[in-house]
Amino acid sequence: MKKIRVLIIDDERAARNEIRRLLAGYPDFEIIGEAVNADDALKMIGELIPDILFLDIQMPEKSGFDLLESLDQVPPVIFTTAYDQYAVKAFEVSALDYLVKPIRVERFEKAIVQARQRLGKTDPGGQIFVKDRQHYHFIQWSSVYLIESMDNYARIFFGDKNVFLKSSLNQLEEKLNSAIFFRINRAQIINRQYIEAITTVDGRLKITISTGAQLEVSERQSAKFRQWAASK
C-alpha cells in the first residue's frame, strides 16, 4: 500500500499532537515531519516532498497563507484553524478541506476521505496558491490557458477568472512545464492544450485558443513554435 506522506505545520505542540493522534487510525497516512513555523515548513516541503499538508492558518510572523504564496508548487492542503473567519476564507479558496479546532472526529474522517479522493486524481501539472487583492486561489496549472506580462506581474487566465501573480514572465517561464506551455511573444505564454486553430499570416503564426481569442506569435517565436509543436 502506497503511503500518503503528511507534513503537519502548526506552532502549537498540542495541536500537532492532536493531528498525530487522529492520523494514527489511518495506516495509509504517514507523518514524515512537523514544522512549527512557515520558514521551517518551506524548507521541509522542499526536502521531504509531502503529498499533503495539515496547515495552521494563524501562526506568528508568517501565516499559512504566506507560506503557500512562497511555494512554486503547492501540495493539497487541509487547513486547521481556531478562528471561524479564517475557516470560511480557507473554504472560499477551494482548499482540500478545513478543520476548526478542537477537531471533531467525524469532521476529520470527512477530510481524510476527501484527501484520498483528491490524491487519487491529483493534477500532474501541480497547482499554485495566489493571493489576488482580498481573494485567495488554488490554481491548477492544467486550467491555465494564457499568461500575460503586466510589468513586474504575470496575469494568469483560468476558467472565467484571471489573477495577478507577483512574478515576471521570464521567471515564470523557467518554472513552467515546457512540454505544455510555450512563450509565443514577449508578453504572452499559452497552454498548448487550449489551442483550437493555427493559421499563417505573412509568414507569422496566429493561434486561436478555446476562448475564441486570437493571439499572434512573434516572427522569432514562429519558427521555434513549429519545431516545438512538431516534437510533442
In one-letter notation, the amino acid at residue 39 is: D
Q: What is the pLDDT of residue 146?
A: 98
Q: What is the pLDDT of residue 123?
A: 63
Q: How confident is the model at residue 7 (pLDDT cuts 50, 70, 90)?
A: very high
Q: How confident is the model at residue 90 (pLDDT cuts 50, 70, 90)?
A: low
Q: What is the pTM of this model?
A: 0.84
Q: What is the pLDDT of residue 47?
A: 97
Q: E strands of 103-212, at which residues?
A: 127-132, 135-140, 144-150, 153-158, 161-165, 181-185, 188-191, 195-201, 204-209
Residue 216 gets which letter from DSSP?
Answer: E
* Phi, psi for 110 (deg, rounded to 5): -60, -40
Rounded Cα gap, residues 38 and 214, in angstroms: 42
Q: What is the pLDDT of residue 226?
A: 87
